[in-house]
Amino acid sequence: MTTSSQSCGVCDLRHINKPSTIWCTECDEGLCTECREHHSLSKGTRNHKVIPITEYTKLPSDVLKISQNCIKHNEKFQIYCQKHECPCCSKCIVESHKECHDIVNLDEVILNSKTSNALCEIEETLVEVAENLQKIREHQQDNLSTLKERRKEIEEEIEKTRIKLNNRLDKLQNDLIKQLNAYKDKEKSKISQLLSSLEKKEKEVADCQRNIRNIKQHGTDLQMFLSMKPIKEEVSSKEKFIHSLFQGEDLNQNSLEYKINGAVQNIMSNVNSFGEVYIEAKPCHLVLSMKNAKQAQIMVPTVQAKSIENIQLKINKTINTQGQRIYGCCMLPDGRLVFTFCNERTVKVFNIEGSKDYEVEIPDGAFDIVYIVDNSILAVTSGDSDKQCLTIIDLERKEIKKTFSLTSDNYGIVLKDNQLIYSAYNKGIRMLNLYDESSSDIVQEEMPSEGYLATFKDNIYHTNRLTHTVTCYNLQGGIQWTFQNETVLNNPLGVVVDNDGNVYVVGFWTNNVVVISPDGQRHREVLTESDGLYNPVSLHYSGLKKQLLIANWNDQAHLFDFI
């Protein structure tokens, strides 16, 4: 911009200060009302494009700085150098762009720039960015609301715990006071009985003393003599009574004492806090708008995948699962472990030490299980149970929340973009929306029973115990690859995928875990029977904790760390 947009450029040259009313984009200057009329009639400028000065000043400041003329030579831009991506005047070509071959007419470059695909892409990207910013803002606002609600819930939980403690301590106190009163009443009764006996003996002794005085004073010597023997016997009985008291325990000085329970003492000395409040980081499941593939590549950084040859595992702990016919397992974000028991029709939750915390009965059958972090619930398939359904367990309430009726037996289950994908036996592989309960088919071919599922990006992995295969499908049901090697993987069941796309499968008869490369071309045995695997059925991968949980069919599960 060669002149100020606020004053007329022509008048400025005549040293007259007049405000501009229009802006000529080709002359690159503002014009007042009088100059505007001359400008529109002049042969050289009558076809120039002009806009109201009020509209021109709405342009961004960076755009207003862009001049139609070359700043260095004060000549109009005519040529565009594609090599240096800059407009040039005729002098710029001679001085700086002699060797440049990618030079085109500027008018051809800027023609239809306002309707070009490049601008459309920029505008679409801005729309996407605005949508994503709105989603992120709403997501974080929801997070604030959740924090507020959760703080209130935790406060109520703390108060309930305090009330339970108070009630428990009140009961213990009342029981101890009752025991104290019982001991006091018992000792009081014993002492009262002794005092009564002592009063009786004292009275008898006083009577004996009075009789002796009376006999001495009023009786004859013969009476005195003959009375002495029975009196002596009576006195002797009184002495024996006193000696018996000292020899026995009746005269013990019994005192009430109090000794505090060691556990209560430990509470006062060792318990330094009422509990622990912490922030649990959960992965964000926000799905961003991503129409441009190139942008998606820019936003998601490339990470070097870990080769299956470099995968190593070491045992962390062995869990006594206290039951048989385990078909499903998963890990919760806080480290607790969950297992399904088909025979018992229960789901058992174990704490981080490996001890059972609690269990929930599943009357309609329990096969595989998946944790849904957004709602803190578990989804459990029913296997070949008489009632074909999906059971939802509320982890906070430790009870069944809801049951979805299905139209087929159902086995392996996974979560994908807030929708459940399950192996539907003779119906293939199906998807269920938890919110509107709508369902759709992904793979329509018949599947065997006890088929397990895993997902990674746009792929779905399914095990077939009858054909001893692992098949990778895309989300449209198209087969990407199939792995089969009965010598190393026989009767494959549970399957998971790590963050690098490597596929882990348990072999029920081969007592092992085999990892398959993301393209399905290479494989490697990473765990065997010597690692504690005996008829392994199910497994779970935790990317956050870098751990692999494997459940044997009976009695044991093993937790391994990636090293």
**340 close to 347: Cβ distance less than 8 angstroms:** yes
| pLDDT for the residue 518 | 94
| pLDDT for the residue 273 | 73
**417 close to 287: Cβ distance less than 8 angstroms:** yes
Q: Where in the chain is the domain with CATH 2.120.10.30?
A: 313-562
pLDDT tens for each residue of 443-470: 999 999 999 999 998 999 999 999 999 9
| 3-class secondary-structure state, position 117 | helix
**518 close to 502: Cβ distance less than 8 angstroms:** yes
Burial of 454 (0-12, 13-18, 19+ CB in 10 A): buried
- Angle between helix 117-218 and 221-247 (nearest 10): 160
Give me the mean pLDDT over the 70-97 stretch.
88
| Whole-structure pTM value | 0.50
Tokens of 161: 């715990």
pLDDT at 294 exceeding the cut of 50: no
**pLDDT confidence band for 425 (50 / 70 / 90):** very high
| pLDDT for the residue 375 | 82
* Rounded-to-integer distance, Cα 231 and Cα 238, Å: 11
Assign domain 1-66 one CATH number from 1.10.150, 1.10.10, 3.30.160, 3.40.1130.
Answer: 3.30.160
Give me the mean pLDDT over the 544-553 stretch.
94
Q: How many Cβ atoms are within 10 Å of 95's Cβ, its own excluded?
A: 12
* Rounded-to-integer distance, Cα 344 and Cα 328, Å: 13
Amino acid at 3: T
Give me the mean pLDDT over the 412-419 stretch.
91
Tokens of 526: 């990473």
Amino acid at 280: E
Q: Which of 138-142, 241-245, 426-430 has maximum average pLDDT?
A: 426-430
Q: How many Cβ atoms are within 10 Å of 219's Cβ, its own excluded?
A: 15
| pLDDT for the residue 298 | 39
**pLDDT confidence band for 289 (50 / 70 / 90):** low
pLDDT averaged over every residue in the chain: 88
Three-class secondary structure assignment of 482-499: EEECCCCCCCEEEEEECC
| 3-class secondary-structure state, position 138 | helix
Chain centre distance of CA 73: 64
Assign domain 313-562 one CATH number from 3.30.360.10, 2.40.50.140, 1.10.600.10, 2.120.10.30.
Answer: 2.120.10.30
**2 close to 23: Cβ distance less than 8 angstroms:** no
Q: Where in the chain is the domain with CATH 3.30.160?
A: 1-66
| Region label for 67, one of left (φ > 0), alpha (ψ between -120 and 50) or beta (otherwise) | beta
> Which of 100-114, 179-193, 354-368, 491-505 is the least confident region?
100-114
Q: Residue 425: how many CA atoms within 13 Å on its side-chain side?
A: 15
* Rounded-to-integer distance, Cα 215 and Cα 273, Å: 82
pLDDT at 484 exceeding the cut of 60: yes
If you write DSSP's letter for every residue of 205-246 in order, what string do you get? HHHHHHHHHHHHHHS-HHHHHHHHHHHHHHHHHHHHHHHHHH
pLDDT at 123 exceeding the cut of 90: no
Residues 6+ apart with CB under 8 A from 556: 318, 319, 320, 321, 532, 534
| 3-class secondary-structure state, position 259 | coil
Q: Residue 428 to residues 297, 391, 411, 507, 543: CA-CA distances in angstroms?
A: 33, 20, 11, 22, 28
Helix, strand, coil abundance in the chain, percent, nearest 5: 35, 30, 35
| pLDDT for the residue 295 | 44
* Rounded-to-integer distance, Cα 296 and Cα 458, Å: 14
**328 close to 164: Cβ distance less than 8 angstroms:** no
